[in-house]
A and B are shown apart, each in its own frame.
Chain A
Amino acid sequence: MSEHPLLEVRGLQKSFDVTKGFFKKEKQYLRAVNDVSFTVQNGEVLGVVGESGCGKSTLGNLIVHLHEPTAGKIVFEGIDMSALSREQLRRQRADIQMIFQDPFSSLNPRKRVFDIIAEPLRTHRDLNKEELQQEVLDLMDLVGLNRSFLNRYPHEFSGGQRQRIGIARAIALRPKLIICDEPVSALDVSIQSQILNLLKKLQKDLQLTYIFIAHGLPAVKHVSDRIAVMYLGKIVEWTTKEELFTNPMHPYTEGLLSAIPIPDPTKRKEQRPLLEGDIPNPVNPPPGCKFHPRCPYKTEICMQVEPEFTDKRAGHFVACHHPLGAEKQAEKKL
């Protein structure tokens, strides 16, 4: 076993220049990912949740080198990625794959299923015709696609089946890390759980590592070991999923949990407190804690000082001046 985690992200930042007009002297930047740090161990699934625009996809894109970071570093298997040569990067690209939200636009409509799944194998591995065919068929079995679909085109498939094609392509090279960016959001409810079950089974059987991105907690709950909650470009809470669901410490996480509609009419939330307000404009984020305008627990300090992201209890990281249940947990320690 190696010493270092599979992935280590330190102080990662990505700013987009969103200055409008030519003559504006003052540049405006949007910090889509703002000083994010975390680690992912081999064979682990990290769920990343947060509402629209909080920077989840930008984070995923940074890790697969679709974006250059503005600051900070990404260390993969102990090696700083910014120090890699082109050839090394090319090889590493085979180790990190991506599954996208929209199975409709992420597959080339002019290619047959066989060619779509075979593409990464052709680029990165030296297989003869028979081996290639066999490998593709094995992959189709693995993701539950009927072998007879081999020569069909993507448009002939339903969303769920297309997502299976995307998954087969992503696991073809047995990558060390797969970024799943909202892989089930576009699917019908009855199909979502099929795909979630498939992703979890593959992860177990092939000992894959995922970063699993989703809007809401319900979607990441099943597959994740650990969950990171993002708000306005920052990770505000990071812990095991059991801990997050039973002991949320960040007020935003609490708000996210209480906003989830419960599929049981006898448990209506008529009386439950709801988070108020909207997500602020990311170009002009509020000072202090970025969540303070919506936070029911805010005090003076929250409006002025940005809380640090620290370990509040045995690997439960929170960025909040008044983490929930902190007293309760202090009592437990005594």
Chain B
Amino acid sequence: MEHALLTVNRLKTYFYTEAGVVPAVDDVSFSIQKGEIVAIVGESGSGKSVTSLSVMGLIEEPGKIVGGEILFAGKDLVGMSMKKMRELRGNQLAMIFQEPLTSLNPVFSIGNQLAESIRLHQKKNKREARKIGIEMLKKVGIARPDKVYDQHPHALSGGMRQRVMIAMALSCNPQLLIADEPTTALDVTIQAQILRLMKDLIEESGTSILFITHDLGVVAEMADQVIVMYGGQVVEQADVYTLFKEPKHPYTKGLIDSTPKIDEWKEELVSIPGTVPGPFEFPEGCKFADRCPFVMDKCKAERPTVTKVGKGHEVRCWLHGEKVVDLNERASFT
């Protein structure tokens, strides 16, 4: 088998806060193949952003990668020098965020920032950079790109700004694009446009995407592979079709069932009981034990290990031992 583009192996990223140690990423493993879209889904605080920032080498005090490896194109990024990391970030690795305004400089025009990024990666003069920049704005679906090129970020709508960010991220032809909730702040009709744009662009370029979201609808539209996180751990991963058809972790099942479906009419919506615990409130054994309808004694006592339940399908849950349980056949969330 060919080597994966990115392999994250037993990654641990902890935050050493005054209140205590937060195991934000706690033994996380997954890999991304070339040209693949891998989605990380999970609720607030589950460790999605910290996972992606770890890959980008952007973890800052009081955070620290305390274990595991991040193999990118064969090299371990953990412990790589700042200089090398910066080089990588400008070239093979790119990232876009939920709120593009935080990564666009309000003082400079769109063109100014785009040209800078183009000139950093390709040896072009100003005029050539402008031409390429306008071309790129056109490619990400911006009408009147020559006008927008000279505008400042605040003059653009949220959707336009995200398009600009995508143009910038792709201007260096990255092998991996990390997108952290790129459409969460956008309206639903604009989100649909941006999702389609991202798909079209990477189909052309072969870029892999690590796509972070909390919306299972977006996962179903975008992903090839899915990673479900809860409390800093991967509780389940599988290809997108398997995950939706045969979820094996009770949390995944609960998330799927409680996602509103437009063609379903119910007296009462399915919900997961309880609340997501704070960083220091997770139970000792399985982190999901206090919300799980299938909880057993063992779950409360011992943290589950990873079980392989099918081809490329892994789950962190004690329900599946020698025999794999079909959650769809069990009465579960109400």
Contacts and interface: CB of A to CB of B under 8 A. Distances in A.
Chains A and B bind each other: yes
B166 interface: no
B220 A268 contact: yes
Interface string B193-217: 1011001000000000000001111
B188 A215 contact: yes
B271 A275 contact: no
Contacts of B244: 263-266
Contact of B262 (A51, A200, A217): A217
Contacts of A260: 188, 217, 262
Given A191-B275, A265-B244, A278-B160, A259 B192 contact: yes
A259 B189 CA distance: 5
A190 B269 contact: no
B261 interface: yes
A227 to B, nearest CB: 13
Nearest to B159: A278
B241 A265 contact: yes
Interface string A278-315: 11000000000000000000000000000000000000
A217 B261 CA distance: 10
Contacts of A259: 188-189, 191-192
Interface residues of B, number: 47
Contact of A197 (B43, B189, B269): B269
A200 B218 CA distance: 27
B189 A257 contact: no
Contacts of A278: 157, 159-160, 190
Interface stretch (A105-113, A116-124, A174-182, A218-226): A218-226
Contacts of B18: none
B240 interface: yes
Contacts of A245: 262
Interface of B: 43-44, 143, 157-160, 187-193, 195-196, 199, 214-221, 223, 240-241, 244, 254-256, 258-262, 266, 268-273, 275-276, 278
Given A188-B276, A190-B276, A261-B195, 10 more contacts: A52-B158, A158-B276, A189-B214, A190-B258, A193-B260, A197-B269, A197-B271, A221-B260, A264-B244, A275-B192
